Each structure stands twice: as C-alpha cells, then as structure tokens.
Structure 1
C-alpha cells in the first residue's frame, strides 16, 4: 500500500539582513583613516613622535567608529525585520537518476 503524500509546505520568514562583518571592517578602516588625518593636522610632540601619538589616538578612533558602525548595523537590522515577508515554501524530493 502506498503512503499518501504528506504536505511538505511550511511558512518561513524571508528578509534581507545586513552583514555585521562588513560594517565592522568598513568602520574600522574608516576610523583608521580619520584618526590618521586628524593626527596629521596638528604638530606632534618631538619627545613622543608621530607614530606613538597616532597609535594612542587610533585606540580611541578605531574603537569609536566600530561602535558607531555596530549601532548603524543594529538600526538597519531592525528596519529589515519590519520589511520581512512570510512566504510559503514547498519541499520537493529529487529522485536518483541511476
């Protein structure tokens, strides 16, 4: 006796979510260049040196822009949840051709 086909369809939520890694990397690179630019605007102390001064300010600049990038990612992620749609998905079984 053949088994009756069962209903292989279900509702799923479909949404486009932003990638966190892209936001973190782009904001870190942006923070690096902003810190480099702002540090280069002012003369550095000869006893400290430019590289040391830049490294010190880069700790704050990169961390701050990564934090802002994550906040921006969260805002976009929440907006993508409001635009989510419900779709009906059906499973199909593929037969082995051999």
Structure 2
C-alpha cells in the first residue's frame, strides 16, 4: 500500500470516529508485527499535517522470551523521533 493511501485511510477513520483531540497523547502498543508498526507509522505521518496536535509514543511489553530482539523497533522509533518504552514482565517465567 502506498503511503498517501495509508494516510488517507488513517485520517478518514480518525475524523469519522473523532478519535483524536487536541493535546492527546497516543501510546501505540508495539508487538513487532506489521499491524502495530503500520499503525505507528501511519500516526507518525498523520501527526505532521493533522490540524489537531497530539503526542505519540510507542510501548512494548517484553514477555521475557529469549531471542526477542527489540533493537530494530528502538532504531525505528529513534528515526521517527517517537519515544519508545519497554516494560519488562515475568510472563515467560509464569508460563
């Protein structure tokens, strides 16, 4: 999908459902999959021209699984200048 089309669909949904108000802070839960990363990318693009100003951040719950490398997500967030937070959990130990 082209970026302009993605941004058009995103803006249409945001406007139609009145999802964003001036001053909102939107935290996007990032799993590392294409859906959550596409949402982050779309909101990042929308933020550049949307008339209502909002903050954007990303968050991942680290489930504790081995070989789950979050550095590519950190790099992407740094590149987009989106604050990124990793929340450690003990879910793996419980399972």
Query: Structure 1 length normalisation: TM-score?
Result: 0.22
Greater helix fraction, Structure 1 or Structure 2: 1
Q: Which has the higher contact order (CA 8 A, sep 6+)?
A: 1
Greater strand fraction, Structure 1 or Structure 2: 2
